[in-house]
Every structure is written in structure tokens, then in C-alpha cells.
């Protein structure tokens, strides 16, 4: 499915937003020079703040992009800002007319400033499956060329997928435009200012992202990906900030597993909940049967095609933190680029050091091949798993009621911790991130409707607690080891569990003692909800957590769909 240019998309050109019109005018300026990934690499090596390391770029990518045979990983150090800046975001379609008018004027002024610099542009394809491809154009200054180079690495240069793209059927979506201008100046309290003004302008209805005064690559990557996810939503798909893998049982040594066929499982969770551990685990801690085969779609971003019952991937790369990867870590052989890394001379070579030694949130672009075998599309998920650090929940719940299942995803939560130096009252307040997607720029009800469709199409939905289960208090918990959760994942895939109702939460089920103890001896006694210490306090906290979930959804834009809101809020009522 190919996206459309503005001239193709807008039957009436007056329907184009002023933001897109300004962006198009910059892109189509006669002095803007179009470059490819090879020229971008050579230019980026000379950009201030960028250093050529002695770490080779993954050879497969070198060949794919026809980079110099001796191409090395570039380290780009951004300065004070080493992460995404939520306070800089302005959502064009959420503003009142006066604010829109102001933003349009300020963007025009920024465009005027920008055109006093040498400008470059490039084109990429988002989507590795020929049936879901969107063209994107990135225009910026020559002083920002390393971000343009990394953006091409992160997605796919247009020429690489030109043939597949041009053969793909037309999509009722505009091409994406990304505009970046690091040198922007504007003394206006309307914009975030950290030593200099910053603006991340989002026009999701017209597929434009603008980064002004922002050097961090993550703004370019996630901004572009946000528009891809949103485009998928606009054509009836489900946007997924999660990981998904597919297990093939058809060649298992034990023929009794062959009937399971191929089954995919998806994981949604915030940082530290185990999303990557579950997606990337090779054999679920040895609990998958001999002879299985595994492929990964992606560990961070994909789209569920509800009409064709498939999942499709947007990117060929990973954008990972490197705080736990020392210089001898095997993942470095998949490296493409790094950001905000310490550089040390080691054995006569200039080596990037992650481990967050220079600053927090050191990042690397890595070839998706480090996940093992990968594919660009996989089967419709057999199972979706919400990963939550909620001490009142058992290690696994099957959410058999579809409204409860979607309510738990829409109210996916995390908690503050004592390291954040907050009050006890703040510690008890849940922080919600629906479907673990902080990049949603459209109404929540659209996600709720999409995931209800996923559930109605046959996916089973579960909740895993990855924090620990109440033992005597919210601080004294029964540990839930990762191996236990991985074993549960395998059990779900292989239909090894039988279920019984959890009486306090209608529509939720826990494993029966007979079925779970065959797999994890002693599990039932250890995690039986009826055996929690200080039961009165446990139930009090359970009620509080679910009341917070209800209150959150009551205060959301689900009010625009009253029947939908009532269904999911009602499903969260406890039977206590």
C-alpha cells in the first residue's frame, strides 16, 4: 500500500493544513539539495559533535546501502538534551483558532530563518512489508546531516525499496514530511525553553512532524514512527508499541505439538516490565519443546492488520539503550550508529562505551538481526499480554471478558518508586499509559475500538504482573522470577493451562491448581490470591488500584463514546 503526495491526496487543495503547506514549500525549494545515505555518511563524519569510531558498521548493512567497505559507526553527542522532551510537543489540532494561527505564523518565521542555511533532504520508506508502505521525506540543514543519516539507517532509503513501493497499491494516506531546524531562535514563553527554545509540532491529520531547536535523534525517529502508527489507525489497523514473535511448532521432535501450528504472541509494557525479555528470549528459559522455530517481527513497533489478520513491521532496526552492554557484548557486531557515548582509546582503537558512563539514555541503532531470525509480517496474535508492575495482581490473569481485557490495556499502569523522592500519597497514585504507547496522538477511544476488534477477532488477552505479588504488604512481596513468567508464556502458547474464575474480579481467571502445578510445582500455594497476608489491607489496596483505573477512564476522551466508556469502566468493578 503506497501513500500519496499532497497533489494526489487532496482533491481540494484548500483541505491541506497550513502546516503541511509550509512544510511542502520548504521541501520543494529549488535550493534544497537531495542526498542519499552514502553522501549523508561522508558529510556526517565532518559534523561537529560527531566522531568516527573504530567500531565497524554491521557488514550486512554496509553491503545493503553500498557504504564504503571500511565504514565505521558514528558517535553523535547532542549536548544537554539526551532524550525526548514531552514539554516541547504542541498538537496542532488540539489548539484553539488563535493558538493555531500563532503556530502557523511562528512556523513560517522558522521556515524563513531556516532558508538562510544550506538545506538537504532525503526520502525513506516506512514499512518493510510491501502491503504496508509509506513514503517519508526529511528536510533539514546540512548541520543536522548526522540525524538525516541515522534516520535513513533506522528506516529504509527510498531507493532500496523503490521497486516494491512502486508496485504496492495506493493507500488513502498522505506521504509523511519531517522538518528539522536545530538553529531556530524564538523568545516566546509559549514554547519549552532549556537554554534555547524547543518545539515538536505534530500535525497528525496531515502527516507532518516539525522539530525546531531539537538535536536529539529520538525526536526524529519517534516523531516519524508516531505518524506511521497513526496512519495505520486511520485505515482501520491497531497501532502497537510492543514486541511480537511467532513460534512454529510444526517441526517439533514430539509430534504431539504439531497440531499447534504457528502461534504469535505480543507484549505491551512500559520500561522495566519485561517487554524485550519476553519478546527476545530464545527458548523461554528452556520451556519450549525441542525442534520449535522462532521468528521475531519486532520488539518495539508494529501494526495489526485487522482486515487481513496479519501483523506488519515498520522498521528494519532497533533503537536500544546501551546501559547494560559493555564493550565486549556480542550485540556490538550489529551496531549501525551510537548516540551520546563515551569514547575511549582501547588497544589503539577509538571505541564507544555505553553503560551510561557519559550520561543517561545512551542509545544505539542496531540491526534487527540481533533478535535472531526475523520476518516482515507474521500471524495474527494468538495472545496479547499486558505487562504491569502491580503488586495486587497474581502473576498471570486470563481476561476472558473482552471489555475487561481492553479496559486493563487502556488503563495500563506503572507506579512511582521511592527513588523518585515523592510522598507516600504520590507513591500510591498510579501513572497510566494506555496500551503502553506514549506516542499516541489521537483519541484514546480509537485504540480501544481497535483492540476490541483484535479481541473479537480471536486473540486471547492476558495480564502478567512483573513486579511481585502481595505477600504481607505492598513492600513485602512474593517474588515473580522472570523464568516463572517465561514458563507461563510457553504454557499459554501450548494450551497447557486450565482456568478458573478469580472471584474478586469478574471476567478474570487464574490457572487451576492441577494445571499450573504440573508446570510450576508449588505455584498455586505461593500465588493463591486467597492466601495473601493482611487480607483486609490487601483488599483495600486492590479496591484503590481499580478505582484509580475507573477514574482514569472516566476522565478520558472515552466520554466521546459513552457506551464504550460505560462498558470498559463497568468491567473494572470488583466483587468485594
527-568 tens-digit pLDDT = 999 999 999 999 999 999 999 999 999 999 999 999 999 999
CA 336 – CA 317 distance, rounded (Å): 9
Q: Are 365 and 336 in contact (CB under 8 A)?
A: yes
For residue 66, name the pLDDT band (cuts at 50, 70, 90). very high
Q: How far apart are CA 436 and CA 414, in angstroms?
A: 10
pLDDT confidence of residue 422 = 60
Query: 354-363 pLDDT, tens per residue?
Result: 999 999 999 9
- Count CA atoms within 13 Å of residue 219 on its CB side: 30
% of the chain residues with pLDDT over 90: 95
- Cα 521 to Cα 291, 482, 487, 526: the distances in Å are 25, 16, 12, 10
Q: Is the pLDDT of residue 418 over 60?
A: no
| DSSP, res 534 | S
The arithmetic mean of pLDDT across residues 249-276, rounded, is 96
Question: Residues of CATH 3.40.449.10 domain(s) within the chain?
Answer: 2-49+85-235
Determine the average pLDDT of the residues in 311-326: 96
Q: Going by C-beta distance under 8 Å and a sequence separation of 6 or more, which residues neighbour residue 486?
A: 277, 278, 281, 284, 285, 287
Check residue 271 and give its pLDDT. Answer: 84
385 - beta bridge partners?
Answer: 267, 462
Q: Please, which pLDDT band fits residue 195 given cuts at 50, 70 and 90?
A: confident
Average pLDDT of span 53-58: 98
- Backbone CA torsion sign across 403, 409, 410, 412: positive
String of DSSP letters for 22-71: HHHHHHT-TTPEE--HHHHHHHHTTSTTEEEEEEEP-HHHHHHHT--TT-
- Please, which pLDDT band fits residue 417 given cuts at 50, 70 and 90? low
- At 72-118, the pLDDT tens digits run 999 999 999 999 999 999 999 999 999 999 999 999 999 999 999 99
Long-range contacts at 223-226 (CB < 8 A, ≥ 24 apart): 223/178, 224/126, 224/136, 224/138, 224/151, 224/155, 224/176, 224/178, 225/126, 225/301, 225/314, 225/315, 225/439, 226/202, 226/439, 226/441
Class at the top of the CATH hierarchy for domain 2-49+85-235: alpha beta
Smallest Cα–Cα separation from 315: which of 379, 397, 222?
222
162-193, pLDDT tens digit by residue?
999 999 989 999 999 999 999 999 999 999 99
Tell which residue, 148, 175, 163, has the closest CA to residue 37: 148
Which of 343, 458, 329 lies closest to 405 in space, CA to CA?
458
Q: Do the beta carbons of residue 90 and residue 199 sit within 8 Å?
A: yes
Q: Which residues contact 387 (CB under 8 A, 6 or more apart)?
A: 267, 268, 269, 270, 273, 274, 275, 278, 436, 463, 464, 466
* Per-residue pLDDT at 546: 98
Residue 433's SS3 state is coil
* CATH of 382-571 given 3.60.21.70, 3.30.360.10, 3.90.228.20, 3.60.110.10: 3.90.228.20
Tell me the average pLDDT across 237-245.
Answer: 97
The stretch 56-67 carries a mean pLDDT of 96
Q: From CA 501, how far away is CA 122, in angstroms rounded?
A: 55
Q: What CA–CA distance (Å, rounded) separates 560 from 538?
A: 35
Strand pairing class (192-193; 349-353) = unpaired
Mean pLDDT of 275-302: 96
Q: What is the overall mean pLDDT for the chain? A: 96
Where does the pLDDT of residue 428 fall: very low under 50, low under 70, confident under 90, or very high at 90 and above?
confident
pLDDT surpasses 80 at 370: yes
Q: How many CB atoms lie within 10 A of CB 120?
A: 21
Task: Indicate the helix (H) or strand (E) that contains 396.
Answer: strand 396-399
Residue 1: band (very low, low, confident or very high) from pLDDT cuts 50, 70, 90? low
Residue 426 in this model has a pLDDT that exceeds 60:
yes
3-state secondary structure of 169: coil
* Structure confidence at residue 419 as a pLDDT band (50, 70, 90): low
Whether the per-residue pLDDT at 211 is higher than 80: the answer is yes
| pLDDT computed for residue 420 by the predictor | 54
Percent of the chain residues past pLDDT 70, beyond the cut: 99
With 0-12 / 13-18 / 19 or more C-beta atoms within 10 angstroms meaning exposed / middle / buried, residue 102 is middle
Strand-pair partners of 477:
470
> CATH 3.90.228.20 in the chain, residues?
382-571
Label the pairing between strands 262-269 and 383-388: parallel
460 confidence band (pLDDT: 50, 70, 90): very high
User: Cell digits for 407?
Assistant: 479496559
Quick one: pLDDT at residue 424? 73
Q: What is the pLDDT of residue 244?
A: 98
More confident residue, 400 or 576: 400
Report the distance separating Cα 225 and Cα 126, nearest Å.
8
Amino acid at each position: 500500500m503506497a501513500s500519496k503526495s499532497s497533489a494526489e491526496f487532496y482533491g481540494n487543495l484548500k483541505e491541506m493544513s497550513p502546516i503541511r503547506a509550509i512544510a511542502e514549500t520548504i521541501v520543494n525549494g529549488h535550493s534544497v539539495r537531495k542526498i542519499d545515505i552514502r553522501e549523508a555518511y561522508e558529510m556526517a563524519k565532518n559534523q561537529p559533535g560527531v566522531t568516527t569510531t573504530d567500531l565497524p558498521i554491521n557488514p550486512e548493512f554496509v553491503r545493503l546501502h553500498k557504504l564504503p567497505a571500511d565504514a565505521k559507526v558514528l558517535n553523535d553527542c547532542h549536548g544537554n538534551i539526551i532524550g525526548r522532551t514531552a514539554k516541547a510537543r504542541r498538537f496542532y489540532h488540539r489548539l484553539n483558532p488563535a493558538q493555531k494561527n500563532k503556530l502557523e505564523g511562528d512556523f513560517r518565521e522558522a521556515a524563513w530563518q531556516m532558508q538562510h542555511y544550506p538545506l538537504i533532504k532525503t526520502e525513506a520508506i516506512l514499512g518493510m512489508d510491501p502491503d504496508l508502505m509509506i513514503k517519508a521525506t526529511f528536510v533539514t540543514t546540512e548541520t543536522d546531516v548526522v540525524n538525516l543519516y541515522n534516520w535513513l539507517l533506522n528506516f529504509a532509503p527510498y531507493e532500496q525499496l523503490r521497486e516494491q513501493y512502486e508496485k504496492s497499491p495506493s493507500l488513502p494516506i498522505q506521504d509523511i514530511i519531517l522538518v528539522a531546524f536545530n538553529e531556530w531562535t524564538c523568545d516566546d514563553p509559549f514554547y519549552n525553553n532549556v537554554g534555547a527554545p524547543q518545539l515538536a509540532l505534530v500535525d497528525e491529520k496531515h502527516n507532518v512532524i516539525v522539530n525546531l531547536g531539537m538535536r536529539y535523534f529520538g525526536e526524529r525517529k519517534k516523531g516519524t514512527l508516531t505518524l506511521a502508527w497513526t496512519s495505520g489507525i486511520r485505515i482501520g489497523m491497531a497501532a502497537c508499541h510492543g514486541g511480537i514473535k511467532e513460534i512454529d511448532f510444526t517441526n517439533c521432535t514430539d509430534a504431539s505439538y504439531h497440531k499447534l501450528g504457528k502461534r504469535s504472541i505480543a507484549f505491551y509494557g512500559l520500561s522495566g516490565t519485561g517487554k524485550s525479555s519476553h519478546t527476545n528470549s530464545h527458548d523461554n528459559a528452556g520451556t519450549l519443546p525441542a525442534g520449535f522455530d522462532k521468528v521475531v517481527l519486532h520488539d518495539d513497533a508494529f501494526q495489526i492488520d485487522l482486515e487481513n489478520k496479519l501483523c506488519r513491521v515498520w522498521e528494519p532496526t532497533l533503537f536500544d539503550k546501551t546501559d547494560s552492554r559493555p564493550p565486549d557484548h556480542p550485540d556490538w557486531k550489529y551496531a549501525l550508529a551510537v548516540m551520546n557515548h563515551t569514547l575511549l582509546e582501547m588497544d589503539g582503537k577509538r571505541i564507544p562505551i555505553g553503560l551510561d558512563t557519559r550520561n543517561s539514555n545512551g542509545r544505539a541503532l542496531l540491526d534487527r538481526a540481533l533478535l535472531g531470525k526475523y520476518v516482515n509480517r507474521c500471524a495474527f496474535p494468538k495472545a496479547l499480554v499486558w505487562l504491569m508492575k502491580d503488586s495486587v495482581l497474581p502473576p498471570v490473569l486470563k481476561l476472558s471478558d473482552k471489555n475487561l481485557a481492553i479496559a486493563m490495556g487502556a488503563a495500563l499502569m506503572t507506579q512511582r518508586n521511592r527513588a523518585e523522592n515523592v510522598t507516600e500519597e504520590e507513591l500510591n497514585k498510579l501513572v497510566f499509559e494506555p496500551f503502553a504507547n506514549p506516542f499516541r496522538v489521537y483519541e484514546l477511544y480509537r485504540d480501544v475500538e481497535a483492540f476490541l476488534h483484535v479481541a473479537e477477532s480471536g486473540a486471547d488477552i492476558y495480564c502478567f504482573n512483573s513486579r511481585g505479588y502481595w505477600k504481607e504488604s505492598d513492600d513485602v512481596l512474593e517474588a515473580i522470577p522472570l523464568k516463572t513468567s517465561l514458563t507461563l508464556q510457553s504454557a499459554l502458547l501450548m494450551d497447557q493451562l486450565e482456568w478458573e474464575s478469580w472471584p474478586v474480579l469478574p471476567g478474570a481467571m487464574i490457572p487451576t491448581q492441577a494445571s499450573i502445578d504440573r508446570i510450576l510445582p508449588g505455584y498455586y500455594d505461593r500465588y493463591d490470591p486467597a492466601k495473601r497476608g493482611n487480607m483486609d489491607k490487601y483488599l483495600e489496596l486492590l479496591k484503590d488500584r481499580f478505582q484509580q483505573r475507573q477514574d482514569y477512564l472516566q476522565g478520558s476522551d472515552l466520554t466521546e463514546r459513552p457506551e464504550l466508556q460505560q462498558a470498559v469502566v463497568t468491567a473494572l468493578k470488583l466483587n468485594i
